[in-house]
Structure 1
Amino acid sequence: MNKYLGHLENYSAHVDDVGLSFYKGSYTLSGLRIWKKDRAEIQTFINVPKLEVSLLSHLAIDKKWFVGVDIYEPRLQVIDSVLPSHQQFGESLPWCEILNRLVILNIESLRVRDGILLFQNYDYRKPVQISVSKINVSAINIHNTEGVRKSLPSRLNFSALVQRGAWLRGSFDFNGSTSLPSFYGQIRLDDFQLTRMNNVFILYGPYSFRLGSVSLFSRIFVNSGNIRGYLTPFLQNIDAVKMLWNNRISQGYLADAVKAFGGIVLDNHTTQRLKGRRYAFQGQMVAGEEPWKNFWSTIRNGFIPIYPKKPIAMKKKHIVAEQIQELDND
């Protein structure tokens, strides 16, 4: 296994130990690490202390064997930068091939326990960091061995803590046997304090918040490449500062999302309503492209051009526009 993992194109990988349990019908991988070849091994992109694969012997169907996978305390570290050589997104990793090597049978259930995702950018002297911790994911009936007679027979639930202050939760019904993603789901973020991400808003905005919180609710439906859904933000007690700074990062999915959110906040300042307004998005995936990259591109193209110019959910909202020539006057 290490022999194969050592021949990835731009990344190195290593597994410390492989344990077998014939009584449980399982095997365990300990100390899985993947890192860029031009960096030290301690600067891992992926770190998985323990991955356990258990045979589901009662699900032997048509000579196919199915397994359940439990991933314990995984850590994923993503790095962004204006310099491509400093970036770490894992785009060149053959994800499916690596997974097929680590788990040689069909995955019927998947659980992620207490994971961590870190997004970092060190271009600015006050580093940008987005922390998503306590990630718990449960996916069941992935190959529909239960014989559920629905177009979306499988189920995924997740929860995570964003910036150690707000819970992000979601649930999805999906069909894992289709060539293009097919699912219906909803996501909600509860009472996130915006000042916790000011370094992100400054570098990718550029704007920042003196005060305010946001809650989000979204639903999305994907069928045969057609994507449609909506996003409803609820903003409270907003005090935002628009900044004039030419060194912002303007490309990438995060930059687009921050720009769209800034448009929602900074372009709307006349309403005192707490009730949120629904913003719809839709698009069509292109056949032949990599499915999930295609999916996110479609979301971007469907939503970013129509970020709102009219009032949305606000309460005690106050916008202050300032001309700030320096990013940091400290």
Structure 2
Amino acid sequence: MKVFVTGVNGQLGHDVMNELAKRNYEGVGSDLAPEYAGVKDGSSVTSAPYISLDITDGDAVDKVITEVNPDVIIHCAAWTAVDMAEDDDKVEAVKNVNVNGTQNIANVAKKLDVPMVYISTDYVFDGQGTKPWKPDFKGYKPMNVYGETKLGGEEAVANTLDKYFIVRIAWVFGVNGSNFIKTMLKVGSNHDEVKVVDDQIGTPTYTFDLARLLVDMIESDKYGYYHATNSELAPSRGDYDENGTKTGYISWYDFTKEIYRQANYTTKVTPVTTVEYGLSKAVRPFNSRLDKTKLTENGFKPLPTWPDAVSRYLEILKKQGFFDELNK
């Protein structure tokens, strides 16, 4: 199987390319940079075929992907700078990438009659309440430009193709690039106390685990909308496992507490409300919970639990010398 992957200089695209290589599939990566510009970790993606591609250029997208002639397309590229997307001079650029760029890719997928995987977000919903969002719920109400444009990308895929996977994720972290865990580790290394939002709830997504699921999906024909974050260990916030780890859905505050616990940080973590925290230009969802039961209903293996994902991720950061750099 030959797979064309966009956004390989990002967190997810990096791991998708490596997962394809593990299964002896041919991955062809692309991104905007003239050459692979992700982390130089010696993994398969660093030496895999790479094509520089601006997904907002419809003619270029058609030409490049047609020449590659893949069996499936996994579209990981997106504008993900949520606050910057709110700037008046950025709105059209964000739409061009997330909506028009996705439409360009969907058009060539239709032309070649190949399936497409599109990565979306809980931001397509209004973020209210506490119940997990169902993958087939159509009561969309995005609250910011990023959410609006990601929904536009979903619609481009669903209205153009019959064979597609739309996979929504939240709170993403991976080895290739910046993310919440890396940021909190850096802040916690030189502060005695950090203040973290405690009234936004959800569960995180480790791109290494998600990449495995996405490749499982393209080995099937069980198309449709799915939600995929790392698993909860218990049905509600406030439960603890035998190791004293808080389980179930969590807040960013809970997430930080567990990151610091596993990293052996003594930094004090103080919970605050979204209003007290301030700073954010874009409206953030209070409820990012995503219902993942459709995965098991269709025979897919859910992602491992989020504390387990954090543990494995921190081990990789240690091997890469992340903590050594912090301590310099």
Using structure 1 for the length normalisation, give the TM-score: 0.24
Bigger share in strand: 1
Using structure 2 for the length normalisation, give the TM-score: 0.24
Ranked by relative contact order (alpha carbons within 8 Å, sequence separation 6 or more), the top structure is 2
Bigger share in helix: 2
